[in-house]
Amino acid sequence: MSDNKLGDFIKDLRSKRSLGLRETAARIGKSATYLSKIESGIELSPTEEVIRQLATVLDGNFDEMMRLAGRLPADITEAIRSDPGMPAFLRRARNESFTSEELMKVLDEKKKK
């Protein structure tokens, strides 16, 4: 992948699903020119809603696409801002090398009890 990680990812998903640029753009209510700019890296900051629509149309992982765009979804940002302990929790998890999979497993096990 080039430095345009999100654009490359979108283009790859389109290719794997045999969807043309125009068809994909029409499905998200945008112009083919706009989508082409995202894929080529000219437009580097599509809105969260555009990324969500692309994830839906292309059956892609929204969170991964936001990560590739270098952004956090609004609901995650709000969760971090609304809980004063969340930044410390995330730093501790990172410093202790917990992966998201490990933390999800802990939550799943707690839910089972």
The pLDDT profile of the chain, 113 residues, written as one tens digit per residue, is 457 799 999 999 999 999 999 999 999 999 999 999 999 999 878 999 999 999 999 999 999 999 999 999 999 999 999 999 999 999 999 999 999 999 999 999 988 88
pLDDT, residue 68, reads 95
Coil vs helix vs strand at 68: helix
pTM for the model:
0.85
pLDDT, residue 2, reads 59
Q: Which amino acid would we find at residue 76?
A: I
Angle between helices 86-95 and 74-82 (to 10 degrees): 100
Spatial CB neighbours of 93, under 8 Å, sequence gap ≥ 6: 103
